[in-house]
C-alpha cells in the first residue's frame, strides 16, 4: 500500500520537492523526499483533527516509510489512532479502543493497515488544503518559507 499525495499538492510544492520517484536532490533548496512535505501536511491535518477522504486526485508517493522515518513509525501510528479516536468520539478508556487499533494497525512494515494508510493520506490531503488556504496562498519557493507556514498552521489549527 502506497502513501499517496494529491497531484495538486505535488504541483503546488514543485519548487521545494524533487520530481516524483526521485530519492533525494543535491539541490539544497528542495526537501530530500516528497514524503517530508506529505508528512508535514499530515501533521497539520492530525493537529487539526480534520481529514479529507476524497481520493480522486491522489498520486502514489512511496511504498513504506523512507528510511529516515523508520524509527518514528510507532509514534506516527500511535498519533493516528489517538486522533481518530478523538475525531470519532471514541472514549479511549473504553474497550472500543482495541477495535479501533485493530482497524488501523497491522504487523506490516509501516505498522499501519491499509485502512490506516488511507486515513493518514486523508489527513495529509486535508493538511495540504489547510496550509494552502492560509498562510500559503502562493507556491512556496523555499524550504524555510514552507516550514514557517507549517509552524504557523500547527499553532493555528491545533485542537
Partner 1 sequence: MKMSILEIEYRNIRKISNLKLSFISPTGTVIGNNFIMMANGTGKTTTMSLIKGVFDGTANNWDSSTVKTYAPTTVSSNNGEFSIKVKFDEKIYQYFIVLDYAAGTARIETAAMPKGRENGRILPESIKTIFTEEFVKRFVFDGEQAEKSMDSKFDEAEQTIKYLYRLDKLDDILSANQKILSEIQNTEGGGRNGSESALSNLRTRRDKIEHTIKVLEFKANDYKKRIEKYEAEKADKISQRNEIDKKYKDLNEEKNNINTEIENNKKDISAQIAEIMRLTKSPYLISKSLCNRMRELGLSMTKLKLPKNTSKDFFTELAHSEKCVCDRCIGEKEKEAILRNAERYLGSNQQSVLNTIKSSISSCEYDSSLSEAFEKLSELQKQSNILNNRFKDNEEKLIKAGGDKAADLQSEIDKLIGEIAACKKSLNVIEAQNDPYETLTEDNNLPLAKEALEELEKKIASATNTNRALRRKEIVEELVNQIKQETTKSLKAEIVRKTNEKLKSVITDDKIEIESIDKYIKLKDRAGASEGQTLGIAYCFLGTLFEDAELQFPFIIDSPTGKMDFAKRQAVADIIPNVFNQMIAFVQSAEVERFADRFYSNPDSQYITIIASPDDEAVEVNYGREYFDSYQREHKGDEE
Q: Which residues lie closer than 8 Å to 142 by C-beta, 6 or more apart?
A: 15, 16, 29
> Binding of partner 1 at residue 24 (CB under 8 A)?
yes
What's the CA gap between 28 and 87, in Å, rounded? 38
Cα–Cα distance measured from residue 30 to residue 52, given in angstroms and rounded to the nearest whole number: 26
| H helix or E strand, kind and range, residue 2 | strand 2-6
Nearest Cα to Cα of residue 55 among 112, 103, 120: 120
Q: Does 114 bind partner 1 (CB under 8 A)?
A: no
User: Which member of 40, 41, 61, 120 binds partner 1 (CB under 8 A)?
Assistant: 40
In the complex with partner 1, the residue whose CB is nearer, 2 or 7, is: 7
- Closer residue to partner 1 (CB): 56 or 93: 93
Contacts with partner 1, 50-89, as mask; x by CB under 8 A: ------------------xx-xx-xxxxxx-xxx-xx---
Asked if 141 touches partner 1 (CB under 8 A), the answer is no
Residue with cell 497539520: 44
Cα–Cα dist 129/66, whole Å: 24
Residues that bind partner 1 (CB under 8 A): 7-8, 10-12, 14, 18, 20, 22-28, 30-31, 36, 39-40, 43, 46-47, 68-69, 71-72, 74-79, 81-83, 85-86, 92-93, 95, 97-98, 101-102, 105-107, 111, 139, 143-144, 147-148, 151, 154-155, 158-159
Amino acid at each position: 500500500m502506497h502513501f499517496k499525495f494529491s497531484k495538486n499538492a505535488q504541483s503546488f510544492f514543485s519548487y521545494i520537492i524533487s520530481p516524483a520517484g526521485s530519492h533525494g536532490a543535491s539541490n539544497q533548496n528542495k526537501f530530500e523526499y516528497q514524503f517530508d512535505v506529505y508528512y508535514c501536511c499530515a501533521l497539520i491535518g492530525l493537529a487539526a483533527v480534520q481529514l479529507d477522504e476524497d481520493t480522486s486526485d491522489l498520486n502514489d508517493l512511496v511504498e513504506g516509510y523512507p528510511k529516515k522515518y523508520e524509527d518514528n513509525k510507532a509514534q506516527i501510528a500511535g498519533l493516528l489512532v489517538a486522533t481518530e479516536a478523538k475525531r470519532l468520539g471514541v472514549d479511549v478508556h473504553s474497550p472500543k479502543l482495541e477495535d479501533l487499533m485493530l482497524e488501523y494497525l497491522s504487523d506490516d512494515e509501516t505498522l499501519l493497515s491499509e485502512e490506516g494508510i488511507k486515513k493518514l493520506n486523508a489527513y495529509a490531503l486535508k493538511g495540504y488544503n489547510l496550509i494552502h488556504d492560509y498562510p500559503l496562498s502562493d507556491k512556496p519557493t523555499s524550504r524555510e518559507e514552507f516550514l514557517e507556514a507549517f509552524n504557523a498552521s500547527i499553532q493555528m489549527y491545533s485542537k
